[in-house]
């Protein structure tokens, strides 16, 4: 697991007895990290892929004590529909969306999302990401937090999705959200990660020769 993958979990800042939703949980690295905070009162770990949730079950059974597993509910719903299932329920929501996984795409040729045959799928990613983020916002209690994350360098998958979600939440659902300042992460981890200086919203960890982590984009929204 890339060390930068822990940053969205830290940004969520889970507090004791919080009800937490991991909307796109598989393969389970961030789910484990959420449980390692020791603060989740209840954790709903969801992924649309049943094969990936089977892997998630295996990871939970391998690494998580039974008494902690009893606080976890694993489901395989389409995350875009979550608001219809349990809207306004959670204190904290992690939306770690499917993306172009830029590091893997550079390294791998098999089933690469930048292959010509997957052009349509790649072009539709920002819409899918927006729909998942909107579901996360609607699943959050008033006063709750949503952390959106990708492992992409693309502003179309990062800041633009955030800006559009804030606009839609306000105009279509009368929900006010605002992006939190996460610049303190730069100070805390200046010796570990290389941060982009160009992000309008949230933070972006850039792979660097002396700090080969990321890319990892994360942004925190507070629902009013």
Give the residue ranges of the annotated binding site for S-adenosyl-L-methionine.
Answer: 24-30, 47, 78, 96
Among residues 88, 49, 69, 100, the alpha carbon closest in space to that of 175 is found at: 88
Burial class of residue 111 (count of CB atoms within 10 Å of its CB; 0-12, 13-18, 19+): exposed
CA 196 vs. chain centroid, Å, equals 19
Binding residues are 24-30, 47, 78, 96
Residues taking part in catalysis: 151
Residue 2 CB neighbours (<10 A): 16
User: Cα separation of 208 and 47, whole Å?
Assistant: 31
């Amino acid at each position: 697991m890339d060390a930068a993958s822990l940053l969205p979990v830290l940004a969520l800042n889970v507090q004791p007895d919080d009800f937490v939703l991991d909307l796109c949980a598989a393969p389970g690295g961030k789910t484990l990290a959420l449980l390692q905070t020791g603060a989740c009162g209840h954790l709903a770990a969801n992924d649309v892929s049943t094969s990936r949730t089977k892997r998630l079950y295996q990871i939970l059974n391998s690494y998580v004590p039974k008494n902690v597993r009893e606080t976890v509910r694993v489901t395989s719903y389409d995350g875009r529909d979550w608001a219809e299932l349990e809207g306004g329920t959670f204190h904290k929501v992690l939306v770690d969306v499917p993306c172009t996984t830029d590091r893997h795409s550079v390294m791998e040729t098999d089933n690469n999302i930048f292959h010509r045959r997957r052009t349509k799928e790649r072009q539709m990613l920002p819409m899918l990401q927006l729909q998942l983020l909107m579901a996360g916002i609607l699943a959050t209690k008033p006063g709750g937090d949503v952390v959106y994350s990708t492992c992409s360098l693309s502003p179309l998958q990062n800041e633009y999705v955030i800006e559009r979600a804030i606009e839609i939440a306000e105009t279509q659902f009368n929900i006010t959200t605002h992006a939190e300042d996460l610049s303190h992460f730069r100070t805390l981890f200046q010796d570990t990660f290389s941060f982009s200086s160009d992000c309008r919203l949230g933070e972006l960890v850039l792979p660097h020769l002396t700090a080969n982590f990321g890319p990892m984009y994360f942004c925190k929204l507070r629902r009013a």
